[in-house]
Amino acid sequence: MSQEFSPKIVAFACNWCAYSAADLAGVSRFQYPPNMRIIRVMCSGRINPNFILKAFQKGADGVLVSG
Amino acid sequence: MELANRKATYKPYAQAIPGAFAIEKLDKAPCRMACPANLNVQGYVQMVKAGKYREAIEIIMRDLPLPGILGRVCPHPCEKSCRRLEVDEAISIRELKRVAADQTDLSEIPVPDVEPKGDKVAIVGSGPAGLSAAYFLALQGYKVSVYESMPEAGGMMRYGIPEHRLPRSVIDREIENLKRYGIEIHTGTAIGKDITLEELRDHGAKAIFLGSGAWKGLKLRIQGEEAEGVYDVTSFLRNVHLGILKKLQGRAVIIGGGHSALDGARVALRLGADEVHIIYRRSLSEMLAEPEEIEEAQNERVKIHFLVAPLKISGENGKVTGIECIRTRLTDPDTTGRRKPVPVEGSEFFIEAEHIIPAIGQEPDLDFLGKDLNLGVSKWNLLTVNPETLQTSVPWIFAGGDAVTGPATVIEAVDAGKKAARYIGKFLQGETLPTEWQEEPPIGTNWVEIRDDEPTLHRMKAPTLPVEKRLFGFDEVNLLADEDTARAEAARCLNCGGCCECYECVKACKAHAVTLETHQQEEQLLTIPVGSVILAPGFAPFDPSRFDTYQYAAFPNVVTSMEFERILSATGPFQGHLSRPSDHQAPAKIAFFQCVGSRDINQCDHAYCSSVCCMYAIKEAVIAKEHAGADLDTAIFFMDMRTHGKDFDRYYNRAKDEAGVRFLRSRIHTIDENPETHDLIFRYADEKGDLKTETFDMIVLSVGLETPEFLVKMADRLNIELDADHFVKTGNFRPVATSRDGIYVCGAFQEPKDIPYSVMESSAAACEAKGDLMAARGTLVQEKTYPKERDVSSEEPRIGVFVCNCGTNIGGIVNVPKVAEYARTLPGVTYVEDNLFTCSQDTQDKIREVIEREGLNRVVVAACTPRTHEPLFQETLRDAGLNKYLFEMANIRNQCSWVHSKEKEEATEKSMDLVRMAVARAQLIQPLPQPTISVDNKALVIGGGIAGMTAALGLADQGYRAYLVEQSKELGGNALKLIDTWQGEDITEHVGQMVKRVTEHALIDVYTESSIKSSDGFVGNFETTISKNGSDISLKHGAVVVAVGAEELRPTEYLYGQDGRVLTHLELDAAIKAESPKVSGAKTAVFIQCVGSREPDRPYCSKVCCTHTVKSALQLKRINPDTDVYVLYRDIRTYGQREALYREARRQGVIFVRYSLEQKPVLEKGTDAVSVTVRDHILGRDILINADLVVLASAIVSRDNGALSQMFKLSLNQDGFFMEAHAKLRPVEFATEGIFLAGMAHYPKPIEESIAQAKAAASRASVVLSKEYITVEGAVSHVNEVLCRGCGKCVDVCPFSAVSLVEREGGKTVAFVQAALCKGCGSCAVACPTGAASIFHYDDQEVLRMVEAALN
C-alpha cells in the first residue's frame, strides 16, 4: 500500500494581509494540515513568476500566492 | 443572549489589542463564604470536575489539613448556601471533597519550602483545633509539638466519631501526613499530670495553644441517673473506641437529637444491642443531625421517638430497667424563634431498657489546667478568649475549639486552629494584636447570573453499604462515589464567583505574568496630571430585551446585529459557520429589522437615527449570502435607507441588484414563533399596501447606538454637558470640543457615527489637544543611543539560532530540543540555544552578550511572528552593534505549533524546515543603511474654504507655518453662501471669525487668487510653485493638505434655468438672506430631493441635502407659517440627531411625499404656478401641486481635480472625488506619504464633518512636520542604472509614486526610486523586464533560496 498522498505546498504570503491572516489563524487555534511552508514577502506584487516555477521545479505539488 | 461559553480566564477576542488574557472575578462564591474555615469550595469542585483530584486537595489544604475527615463528617453549611438550590438541589460538596481526598495520595502534595522561624509552639490536644493550629503554625515555619493525653492522636475525631462514619485509616493517614510538615505529636502525655503548661514554656515553647476539647458529658439531672447502665454518650463512645467496651447486651435508649445521639445509637446497634431507641423532646425538623443520617439510622432499625422527654430512670438492684418518658408538644415560636417543648399531661409511658445513654451535650474538663495560671473561665465552664485573636487571659496561651465554644463541629474547630495560628504567629513576631473582633468584609452578591434555561439536574446519590451488611461491624456506611458520578456532580456547579481561584493559571503561566499577586489585584485610584483629556468611550448597543415587540428575550432565533456579527465571524461562536441559535442549523431565510432602538419615541425614547445601522445591515446581509451561498434569502425591512457615506449607495445598489438582498419598506410590529421549529412568522405591508405573511428562520434586529448609563455619570463627574439624547454637546464649528475647555470628544459618544468618521474625529481631537499642549511638546522625550555598528561585510556568516519554547505554546507541541539540535547542523550556524521565552528581557540581555561573545553576524529567532516581534529582536541586534537587517525569524508558533497542535511530529518537522529556510536566507541578508532626510516643517494647504482654513489654523496653532492657497478672491468657499448650520449656528458670522483668525495668524500666509502650477519632491521635502496674478511663487514645505472642496450641481431638469421660481439650495439660501419676495410671498413651496444624486450616472448620495431641505422647510414655515411646504423625496436621510429636524418639520405640517426613481416628479411651467405632478405611493395616485417656489436639492459634485491629482499623484474615485489611503484606517491620508485630505474634496459633507476632517488632516500632517528628520527604511527597492532601459514599467506599477523617470548625463533616461516614499513592496522588481529594479532584503536570490530550502 502506498502512503496517502500528502502534497508539498509552498505559499507566498503578503506580509500585510495573508501572512497576518495566517498568524490570526494561529491565534484562533484553527487547525490545518501541516504540509504548507509559508514564505513571507512584502507584497503579493513581489511574486516573480520565476518563484513559482522554481517551486514546481524543486518538487512542489502546489503553490499558493496569497495577498 | 449568550452565543457561546467562555472561561473565567479569557481573551476578549482573537484580534484583541493588547493580545492579553483577562480574568473575570466576581464576589466570592456563597459556599466559600458559608464555610467556617473559608474553604475555596468552588475551586476544588472545579478541579474535581476536571478529574484533577490532587489539585483539588492542594486547594483544600490551603485552608484545611484534614480533607478526608471533613469529606466525611462535615455538616457542610456550604451546601445550604449553594445557589444551585435556586434551580434544583445543592451540589453535594462534602461528597466531592471526600472523592478528591480518597483519590489522592497525600504524600504527593509538596510541603512548601518555608524559612524556619526557630520559635517553638506547644499544642495541647490533637483534635481538629489542635492539629489545624499545628499545621498552620508549621506552614509559617514554627516548630510545633502536639501533646495528647489519649493513646492516639485525633481527639474527638477518633474517640467521639464512630468508625462507620469515619474509618480510622482515614484519620491515621491524615495525621501521619501532618508529620511531613515537621509536626511532632506526643501521645499519652497528659497536661497537668505528665507535664504542666509552665514546664512546656520552660522547655522552650514561646506560645501554647489549648485545643483540649469538651469531653465531659452533661447529666440529665433526673431521678435514677446513678444506676448502673447509665453513661453519657461521650464516655460510651470513648470506651468503645478505646476497646474497653466491645459488646452491648439488651436494649438501649439514647436521649438527645444531635450527632452524638445518632452516633451512640448506631454504635449501640453494632455492639449487639437488641433494640435501640432515641428519644428526643422536639420534632424531626429541629433535630441537629442531618436528614440523611437520621434516615440511615432508621434504616438500621433505630427507633426514634420524637416529642418525648425523659422523666425518670427506673432501676432494680442498682441496675437500669427502663426509662419513664412523657410526650411533649411544641409551643408557638417564642421571641428567639424557638419552639419550646412542654409536657403533655397524662401521656407518660415507659420504655424498658438496660442501657440509658444521655447525649445532651458536653463541656470541657478544665481541671488539668490547675489554678496557678489563673486562666479566665466563663460561667459555662468554657475558656474565655479574645474573640478575634483567641488569646486567653495569659498572653502566651491561646485557645480554640470545643474548649472555648462548647461542643461544635470539626470544621469550626479547624477554623479556630487556623485563626489561632495566625495570631500566635503575629504574637511571636512581636506584632500588636487587635483587642476586638474584626469585622469581616461583607458578603457580596455579584455572582454569575443563573440562566433562565439552566437545566434541572439532580444531586448525586452516594452509594451506601446495604443495611444487612452494616451491623456486624464498623464498616464505613457511605461508600466512595465513582468518578463519573462525582465529576458530573461537580459539573453542576454554577461557578458563582467567576474565577474559582484554583490558581492553576499561576502554575501554567511560565512567563510569570499571572501570579498570586495578579489574582489579588484590585481597583486602584491613580492621579495623572494632564494638559488635555480626550473622551473616546464609545457606545453601547441598544438592548432589545426590554422591548417585547420583537421578542428578543423570548425567541432564540431573534438576535441582535452585534450577535449576528459574531455569528458571521471566523473567530465567533460557530467558527464563522452561519447557523442559528435554536438548533445550530444553517438558516435559509433571514430578516433584518431596521431602527430597533432608533427613530422611536414610543418604545425606547431614542428619537435620533443611529446612522450606521442601514449600512451594517446591508453588509451583514451580503456577507451572510457570501457565507451561505446565493440561495440564502435575506430581506431588510426598513423605513428610510440611509446609506449616505462615501460609496455606500454603490454598495446598497450592488446588494440589491447583484447580491439579491431584498429591501422592503415596512416596519414590523409583531412577531410570532412556531414553538416547535422556532421559525419566526410576521406580517407586513408591501409597496402596494398589500398585507403579506412570511416565515423566516432567523431575525436580526439592527440595534441602534446609545450612551450607557455609566458614561452619563462619567460626563457628570467630568462636568461636561450632554444633550437630551445623552451625547456630548458640541457645536458644529468646534465638533470635538466639549463644554469644558481642554476636554475633547470623538466617536459615538458625540453622536452615533461610523468608523471612518470616528477615526477622523479622533485625529481631530488629537489636533485640538496638540494645540493646547504645544508648549510641552517633546519635553518628555528621551533619546536612545546605540553603539557603533560593527562592519561585518568581510565576515563569513556566523549565524546564531535561538529557538523559543514560548512557555508551552511551542514547546508543548514541537520538540524544541530536536529543532535546536537540527539547527546546529545547518551551514553557517555557529551558535544555537533554546529558551523558555526568547522575547523576555533576560534573554535579550543574553542574546546581546552571545552576539558579542560568539562574534555572531546573523541572528535567527525561531519563535512567534515577525509581525509582532521582529522590531524587538532588531532592537537587541542594534544594542549589540549589529545592523538590524541581519535578522530573520522562523514563525514556528502562529504558523506551526498553534495550527498543528494535534500533529506533534509533523509540527516538529515543519519547524525544522522553517528554521532551515530562515537560516538559508540569513546567509544572504546584508546590512542596509537607514539614511535620514531632513524635514521642512511647513505645510501647504490647498483650498481656502472651511476645511482649508481649519487645517491651516490647526497646523499654525501647533506652531507650524501654513501656506494657504485659494483660487478665488476671498476665503470662505461654499460656506459664504449658506445661512446656518443644522444646529442653528450663524454660518456667516462664524466664517467671518475664521477668516479673521486666518488672516491675522502670524504663522499663516494666505495666497488668494492663486493656483498650483507645479509640485515636486516627496514627504518632508516638497517644492511647489504657485501662480498668483501671473507671477510664480515657489514654496518649500514638508506636507500638503488638499482641501479644494466641491460644488453644487447646476441641474438640467425640473425646469431649472427655464423658470425663475425653480431654485437650488444655495440659491434659496441667497434668496432668504436677501429677504426675497420669492420666499416670503410663496404660498406653496415644493422641495425635490436627490436632484442629480443617486442617479445611474451619479450613484452617490450628496449627504447634506435632506438636512438642508428640512431645515429650509422649517425656515419657510418661520418666514410665513401659511406657506404649504411639500418635500418630494426618495429616502429621507436626516441621519443622527438631524432626525429631530425631520420630526419637527412633520410636526409643523410639512408634507413629505415619496417618489421613485422610475416615476420622478413632472414639472410644468404655468403662469401662476409651477405645476408639480408626483405619484403618491400610499394613495397609488398622482398628486398635483401648484407651487410658486420649487427648490431643487441638487447634488454636490467634485471640482475638476484632474490636474491636481496628476501633479501630486493622487487617485480620484469614479465620481471625481479624491481617494483616501484607506476608508477606515487612514481616512484623511493619501497613499502618497505626506499628503492629506479634508473637506468636500473627499466627499460631500456638512460643515461639522469638514471641520473634523480638516483638524484630523492637520493632526496627521503634524506627525510628519514634528520630526526633524525622516528615517528611510533600508528594505526598499533600487534600480541598477546600467541595466535600466527607462521603459517606465516600474513607474506604472508603483502604488506609492516612489519611482519616476529621470534623465542622466548623456540623455539616458532611467528609473529612480525615491527611497523615502518606497514601501518595499517589490512590484517594480517584478515588472522590470531587465532585472534592473530589485529590492533590498527581499531580493530574488533570498526568496529563491527559501523556496529551495523549503523543498529540500
Residue B866 belongs to what domain range?
A: 799-922
pLDDT attached to residue B1: 59
What is the pLDDT, as a whole number, of residue B17? 72
Residues of B numbered 905-934 whose beta carbons fall under 8 angstroms of chain A's beta carbons: which are they?
906-907, 909-910, 913-914, 917
B737 lies in some domain = no
Which tens digits make up the pLDDT trace of B589-623? 999 999 999 998 877 679 999 999 999 999 999 99
B1352 to chain A: closest CA residue: A58
Interface of B with A in 556-575 (CB under 8 A): 570-571, 575
Q: Which of B1133, B1162, B1196 is the C-terminal boundary of a domain?
A: B1196
A39:B1350 CB<8 A: yes
Q: Does residue B877 lie in a domain region?
A: yes
Q: Which CATH number covers residue B237? A: 3.50.50.60
- Neighboring chain A residues of B1225 at a CB cutoff of 8 Å: none
Out of B866, B1319, B1347, whose CB is closest to A54? B1347
**Closest Cβ–Cβ partner in B866, B901, B1347 for A31:** B901
- Confidence band, pLDDT 50/70/90 cuts, at residue B1034: very high
| B1344 to A43: CB separation less than 8 angstroms, yes or no | no
Q: Which of A10, A31, A43 has the CB atom closest to B1323's CB atom? A: A43
Percentage of chain B modeled with pLDDT above 90: 85
Contact call for B1322 and A29, based on CB within 8 A:
no
**C-alpha cell read off for B49:** 470536575
Domain shared by B189 and B46, yes or no: no
B1253 in a domain, yes or no? no
**Averaged pLDDT of chain B:** 94
Q: Are residues B352 and B273 in the same domain?
A: yes
Touching A: B residues 1029-1058, CB under 8 Å: none
Instruction: Summarize pLDDT for B125-159 with one digit per residue, the tens.
Output: 999 999 999 999 999 999 999 999 999 999 999 99
Q: What is the pLDDT of residues B1156-1175, one digit of tens each?
A: 999 999 999 999 999 999 99
| Residue of chain A whose alpha carbon sits nearest to that of B901 | A31
Residues B460 and B593 in one domain: no
Same domain for B229 and B204, yes or no, is: no
> In terms of CA atoms, which chain B residue is nearest residue A59?
B1351
B423, B427, B432, B436: CA torsion to nearest 10: 40
Strands B1269-1271 and B932-934: antiparallel
Question: For chain A, percent helix, then strand, then coil, each to nearest 5?
Answer: 35, 25, 40
Q: Cβ contact (<8 Å) for B914 and A47?
A: no
Hey, are the CB atoms on A58 and B1347 less than 8 Å from each other?
yes
Q: Using a CB–CB cutoff of 8 Å, tell me whether B653 touches chain A.
A: no
CB-side neighbour CA atoms (13 Å) of B1294? 31
Residue B660 lies in a domain: yes
Asked whether residue B248 falls in the same domain as residue B173, the answer is no
The region of weakest confidence among B182-191, B438-447, B1229-1238 is B438-447
Q: Are both B220 and B186 inside the same structural domain?
A: no
The answer to whether the Cβ–Cβ distance between B1321 and A40 falls below 8 Å is no
pLDDT-derived band at B291, boundaries 50, 70, 90: confident
Please judge whether B1350 and A45 are an interchain contact, meaning their C-beta atoms are less than 8 angstroms apart.
no
Give contacts of B 842-881 with A, CB under 8 A: 865-868
For residue B894, the distance in angstroms to the closest alpha carbon of chain A comes to 4
- Residue A1's pLDDT band (cuts 50, 70, 90): very low
Please give the pLDDT value at position A2.
Answer: 55
| Segment (H or E) for B264 | helix B259-270
> Is the residue at B240 inside a domain?
yes
Question: Do B576 and B701 reside in the same domain of the chain?
Answer: yes
Task: Pick the last residue of a domain from B428, B458, B484.
Answer: B428
Task: Tell me the C-alpha distance between B819 and A42, whole Å.
Answer: 27
In a domain, B782, yes or no: no
Would you call B1323 an interface residue with chain A, using a CB distance cutoff of 8 Å? yes
Query: Predicted ipTM?
Result: 0.97
Task: Report CA-CA distances (Å) from B684 to B652, B700, B814, B1024.
Answer: 22, 16, 59, 61
Are both B693 and B549 inside the same structural domain?
yes
Looking at the complex, report in whole angstroms how far the Cα of residue A45 sits from the nearest Cα belonging to chain B. 5
- Nearest CA distance, B866 vs chain A (angstrom): 9
Residue ranges of alpha helices (H) inside B814-903 are 816-824, 841-854, 866-879
Shared domain check, B82 and B55: yes
What interhelical angle do B904-922 and B1340-1350 show, nearest 10? 150
Which of A9, A17, A29, A38 is the best mutation test for B, with the most CBs of B within 10 A?
Answer: A38
Q: Is cis: bond before B18, omega within 30 of 0? A: yes
Give the closest-approach CA distance of A50 to chain B in angstroms: 9
Residues of B in contact with A57 (CB under 8 A): none
Return the pLDDT at B541: 96
Question: Are residues B296 and B406 both part of a single domain?
Answer: no
Which of A24, A25, A55 minimises the CB distance to B1347? A55
Q: What is the mean pLDDT of residues B784-807?
A: 94
- Chain B residues within 8 A of A28 when measuring between CB atoms: 14, 570-571
Name B900's bridge partners.
none
Comparing B261-265, B493-497, B599-603, the range with the smallest average pLDDT is B599-603
DSSP B788: P
pLDDT digit string, tens, across residues B697-717: 999 999 999 999 999 999 999
Give the residue from B1086, B1106, B1084, B1095 showing the smallest Cα distance to B1052: B1095
How far is residue B751's CA from residue B699's CA, in Å, rounded to a whole number?
27
Chain A residues whose beta carbon lies within 8 Å of the beta carbon of residue B896: 26, 34
Q: Are residues B225 and B209 in the same domain?
A: no
- pTM for the model stands at 0.80
- For residue B1151, what are the contacts with CB-CB under 8 A and spacing of at least 6? B1124, B1125, B1126, B1127
Q: Contact B14/A24, CB-based, under 8 Å?
A: yes
Please state the rounded mean pLDDT for residues A24-46: 92
**Binding-site residues on chain A for chain B (CB distance < 8 A):** 8, 10, 15, 19-20, 22-32, 34-35, 37-43, 45-48, 50-51, 54-55, 58-60
Please check the confidence at residue B586 and state whether its pLDDT lies above 80.
yes
Whole-angstrom distance, CA of residue B241 vs CA of residue B811: 55
Q: Which of residues 1275-1294 of B touch A (CB under 8 A)?
A: 1275, 1293
pLDDT digits 0-9 by tens, B936-978: 999 999 999 999 999 999 999 999 999 999 999 999 999 999 9
Contact B1194, B1234 (CB under 8 A): no
Which helix or strand (DSSP H or E) is residue B770 part of? Answer: helix B755-772
Q: Residue A8: its chain B contacts at CB < 8 A?
A: 1351
Q: Structural domain boundaries of chain A?
A: 9-66
Whether B960 is covered by a domain: the verdict is: no
Residues of B within 8 A of A61 (CB-CB) are none
Domain CATH code at residue B30 = 1.10.1060
* pLDDT at res. B337: 80
Provide the number of structural domains found in chain B: 7
Taking residues B800-817, what's their average pLDDT?
94
Terminal-residue alpha carbon distance, chain A = 39
Tens of pLDDT along B39-71?
Answer: 999 999 999 999 999 999 999 999 999 999 999
B1323 and A46: CB-CB below 8 Å?
yes
Which residues fall within 8 angstroms of residue B1100, CB to CB, at 6 or more apart?
Answer: B646, B647, B649, B650, B1093, B1094, B1215, B1243, B1244
Instruction: Name residue, grid cell 463644554.
Output: B739
Under an 8 A CB cutoff, do B570 and A28 touch? yes
Task: Report d(CA B447, CA B500) in Å as an integer.
Answer: 12
